[in-house]
Amino acid sequence: MTTEVIEEATSEVANDLATTGPATLNGAPARSLATLSKHGRSQVAVWQVNFAGVACGAWLLDARNKEHALDILALCDRRAVIDDSPSSVQLILELADMARVEIPEAVMKERLASLDGLLSATAAARRAHAEAVVAYGKSEGKKLAPLAWRTEVPPSLDQLRPSQYRGWAGKGTAPHAFGMSVLSRQLVQLWTDTETVRLRRKYLREQFGPAQVLPEAWRDAALAAYATPFGLPRAGKDDPA
């Protein structure tokens, strides 16, 4: 089976945020993220998502034997795995068993990019930024305008789920991987909005540092994934970075 990896060269992040692409993250080598799900009886859907939350590759592949499993794992190698329920990470481990490749569960936990985690990190960042505005205003004896974001962070993913399959133009039921890619885009946009608003205030830049394309847990997952390839039998010196 022939597979083609499609990656965008760069992705522009809103306003004051730095531009990044699938090849680098905060100046370090990394690859765009992946999400995958079972589709039907014997297929797996794989979506790749860049650091701006935009889908940059999609496949619907047979998963009937060792060779198929290796093809799918190759699309996810060196990529943080966006996880939801049902679990993308668990599916990776099942494919590894089919391909007769040892991928320790601990390795997968290091490259986990949780949708719930991204939502929680964004909400926590906004609370911290808002509290910092109040504290700075008190220290300066000023009443500062509160931070205003374009979109509020929902209390849970459940509020976003009704929209996660909108836009599906393929045949049949949309794969869960497609839905996770849609949620990823929405959540990354919330994070980008959070950072854009923060960066407009000098004292918040000084307190919280330069622009961050993704929250720490997702950055760490992407960097860990790139640093720890699966060790697939086809990979070697010719494996593209």
Q: Which residue has the tokens 């797996």?
A: 44
| Residue 211: count of CB within 10 angstroms of its CB | 18
Digit-coded pLDDT (tens) for 68-111:
999 999 999 999 999 987 789 999 999 999 999 999 999 999 99
Task: Give percent of the chain with pLDDT exceeding 70.
Answer: 87
What is the chain's pLDDT, residue by residue, as a tens digit (241 residues)? 333 332 322 222 223 333 334 468 888 999 999 999 999 889 999 999 999 999 999 999 999 999 999 999 999 999 999 998 778 999 999 999 999 999 999 999 999 999 999 999 999 999 999 999 999 999 999 999 999 999 999 999 999 999 999 889 888 889 999 999 999 999 999 999 999 999 999 999 999 999 999 999 999 999 999 999 999 996 543 444 4
**Whole-prediction pTM value?**
0.86
For 207-219, give the DSSP string. Answer: HH-S--SS-HHHH
- What whole-number distance in Å separates Cα of residue 182 and Cα of residue 212? 21
Digit-coded pLDDT (tens) for 18-34:
333 446 888 899 999 99
The full set of domain ranges for the chain reads 24-146+174-227
Average pLDDT score over the chain = 87
For residue 62, what are the β-bridge partners?
Answer: 43
For 125-191, give the DSSP string. Answer: HHHHHHHHHHHHHHHHT--PPPP--SSPPPSSGGGTGGGTTTT--SSSSPPHHHHHHHHHHHHHHHH
Alpha-carbon distance values, 175 to 150, 159, 182 (Å) = 29, 19, 11
